[in-house]
């Protein structure tokens, strides 16, 4: 038995064409599906990562702006508190407009008492003070929380600052440093006298520092000190961000530097991993394509060629069992085993199919008999009761001849003259049974009587007409004709059976139109449906039966049977 050469040395024109087709299919799949899908995945992941990062940053910016608005609101309240005391406190007004005179010391005491009683009304205030620039004197009142800190150093720093004040000190809140701690300073000036307040920045940003960020740094600094600009590493890792928000009440800004929340960063890391995996997959496509070509496509081509040979009934060659991989070697061995088994079983299956077909045909032929058999016995019974002996003898002889032909018709085909003899016996029996005797006219050339046809081909239509049309007519007439037709190199026997009855039911014509073998027998028109099934077995689609109801009335059946001359 010849062997197929190893696929590594398998080179011929047909394989090259097939390989090109398979390779093009694989490449189309890769470049039209795998590559776009991975690119889309990379773009989607990148968009999702940057969207998550951007959304987190925007949410944090909104939060920082919210807290800054809250700080500005509290500072505005303190500014109102400061201005109200500066304009309404009589002691401060007396000192500012030099009304005190000799009572200056007493007015300072009154001012101290007034401010000391009001400082705790605003919890954010650390120091409340009055400074007279001409006398270079300051009255400072610490809040209850800052009493223990000592106010001497804060007083000295404020005095030095206010001796030569900057113009911006009167305009808005200003950031200063007292005792190594940041404060926001606000002044109200009346002539040469200042009324001021110091608010620690720690109390302002405490809520923001307690927000659930990791690696968080919150700073209040003069405007323009910090710029929120992410580094190149932060841009790629999308882990850290910086936010700056300017105050509307003073010359300072809030600067926040923090890491992305863990739950959001986990999503970004997963997207990074998926993107990296997609990039790796794209880079591995050429390697995978080479491996696929060598270990899968080439062996498949050899399988295809051998299956084409099997399709052409060529079982002479076997696959080599060195196909490049363990799985393909196993498939080749199994394929060879399958070929051997197919060769062994092919003849057995063919013979069994022939036997089964022959049995089916015999069953279909005999299925016509019971109904007619019972009716004939019933007729014989009534003839015997009426003592019509001559008719009884004639009917019995016709009945015997009819069923002798039926039971002897075990072959697949019989001569047309045998079929006509059986029809004659059947008509004779029917003429005895029926009061209105059916008339049958045969127009059959003698040259065609030896043509071989399936048993009961004509008789089926005669019986159908007599059974369904005779009761509705006074006189049933049937015409049976035959002719020879040539189509190319083939010859066909055309049998036509017509009657003057009521025609075929529409349901039967619809069933015949939608006929798909094998036919479902059912309870009506058993003979016609049996004939269709037998034609299917006999001729395998090369014979035709056409039923119709002509416009002139009645029913018409045309049978087209291939014959050999």
Using the predicted structure, report yes or no on whether residue 17 has a pLDDT greater than 50: no
Please name which of 394, 467, 470, 403 lies closest in space to residue 429, comparing C-alpha atoms.
394
pLDDT tens, position by position, 320-345: 777 767 777 778 788 888 877 877 77
pLDDT: is 499 or 397 the higher one?
499
The CATH class given to the 88-201 domain equals alpha beta
DSSP 214: S
Which position has the token pair 């279909």? 364
Q: How many C-beta atoms lie closer than 10 Å to residue 114's C-beta?
A: 17
* Sign, CA torsion 168/169/174/179: positive
> What's the 3-state SS for 490-540?
EEEEEEEEEECCCCCCHHHHHHHHCCCCCCCCCCCCHHHHHHHHHHHHHHC
Residues 500, 554 contacting (CB under 8 angstroms): yes
Using the predicted structure, report yes or no on whether residue 20 has a pLDDT greater than 60: no
Provide the whole-model pTM: 0.44
DSSP assignments along 455-498, one per residue: TTHHHHHHHHHHHHHGGG-SS-EEEEEEEEEEETTEEEEEEEEE
Residue 8: pLDDT band with limits 50, 70, 90: very low
Q: CB within 8 A of 309, min separation 6: which ones? A: 315, 316, 317
The CATH class given to the 384-561 domain equals alpha beta
Rounded to whole angstroms, the Cα distance separating 462 from 402 reads: 14
Query: How many degrees, rounded to 5, is the angle at CA 304 between CA 302 and CA 309?
Result: 100
Using the predicted structure, report yes or no on whether residue 362 has a pLDDT greater than 70: no
Highest mean pLDDT among 57-66, 261-270, 396-405, 415-424: 415-424
Q: CB within 8 A of 456, min separation 6: which ones? A: 365, 368, 406, 409, 419, 422, 527, 531
pLDDT tens, position by position, 226-243: 775 655 555 556 667 788
Q: Write down the domain spans for the chain.
A: 88-201, 314-362, 384-561
pLDDT computed for residue 190 by the predictor = 86
Rounded to whole angstroms, the Cα distance separating 111 from 126 reads: 17
Lowest-pLDDT range, 56-70, 380-394, 469-483, 534-548?
Answer: 380-394
Kindly state the tokens that stand for 476.
């049933």
């Amino acid at each position: 038995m010849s062997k197929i050469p190893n696929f590594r040395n398998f080179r011929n024109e047909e394989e090259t064409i097939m390989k090109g087709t398979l390779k093009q299919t694989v490449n189309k799949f890769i470049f039209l599906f795998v590559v776009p899908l991975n690119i889309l995945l990379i773009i989607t992941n990148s968009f999702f990562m940057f969207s998550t990062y951007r959304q987190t940053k925007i949410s944090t910016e909104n939060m920082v702006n919210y807290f800054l608005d809250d700080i500005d609101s509290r500072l505005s309240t303190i500014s109102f508190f400061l201005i109200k005391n500066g304009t309404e406190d009589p002691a401060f007004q007396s000192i500012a407009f030099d009304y005190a005179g000799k009572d200056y010391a007493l007015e300072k005491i009154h001012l101290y008492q007034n401010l000391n009683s009001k400082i705790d009304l605003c919890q954010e205030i650390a120091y409340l003070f009055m400074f007279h620039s001409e006398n270079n004197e300051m009255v400072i009142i610490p809040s209850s929380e800052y009493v223990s800190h000592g106010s001497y150093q804060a007083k000295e720093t404020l005095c030095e600052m206010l001796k030569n004040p900057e113009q911006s000190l009167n305009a808005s809140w200003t950031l200063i440093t007292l005792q190594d701690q940041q404060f926001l300073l606000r002044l109200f000036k009346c002539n040469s006298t200042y009324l001021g307040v110091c608010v620690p920045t720690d109390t302002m940003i405490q809520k923001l520092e307690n927000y659930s960020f990791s690696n968080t740094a919150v700073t209040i600094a003069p405007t323009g000190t910090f710029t929120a600009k992410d580094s190149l590493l932060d841009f790629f890792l999308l882990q850290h961000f910086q936010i700056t928000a300017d105050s509307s009440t003073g010359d300072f800004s809030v600067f926040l530097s923090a890491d992305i929340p863990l739950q959001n960063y986990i999503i970004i890391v997963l997207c990074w991993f998926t993107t990296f995996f997609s990039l790796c997959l794209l880079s591995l496509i050429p390697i995978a394509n080479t491996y696929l070509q060598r270990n899968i496509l080439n062996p498949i081509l050899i399988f295809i060629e051998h299956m084409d040979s099997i399709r052409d009934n060529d079982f002479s060659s076997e696959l080599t069992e060195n196909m490049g991989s363990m799985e393909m070697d196993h498939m080749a061995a199994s394929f060879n085993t399958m070929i051997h088994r197919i060769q062994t079983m092919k003849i057995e299956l063919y013979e069994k199919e022939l036997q089964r077909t022959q049995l089916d045909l015999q069953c279909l032929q005999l299925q016509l008999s019971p109904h007619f058999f019972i009716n004939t016995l019933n007729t014989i019974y009534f003839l015997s009761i009426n003592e019509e002996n001559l008719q009884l003898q004639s009917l019995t002889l016709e009945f015997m001849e009819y069923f002798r032909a039926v039971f002897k018709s075990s072959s697949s085909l019989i001569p047309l003259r045998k079929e006509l003899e059986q029809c004659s016996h059947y008509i004779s029996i029917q003429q005895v049974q029926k009061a209105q005797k059916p008339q049958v006219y045969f127009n059959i050339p003698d040259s065609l009587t030896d043509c071989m046809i399936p048993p009961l081909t004509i008789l089926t239509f005669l019986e159908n007409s007599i059974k369904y049309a005779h009761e509705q007519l006074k006189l049933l007439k049937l015409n049976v004709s035959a002719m020879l037709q040539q189509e190319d190199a083939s010859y066909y026997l055309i049998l036509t059976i017509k009657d003057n009855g009521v025609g075929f039911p529409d349901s039967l014509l619809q069933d015949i139109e939608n006929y798909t073998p094998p036919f479902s027998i059912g309870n009506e028109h058993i003979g016609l449906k049996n004939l269709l099934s037998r034609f299917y077995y006999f001729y395998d689609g090369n014979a035709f039966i056409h039923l119709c109801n002509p416009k002139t009335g009645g029913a018409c059946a045309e049978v087209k049977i291939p014959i050999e001359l």
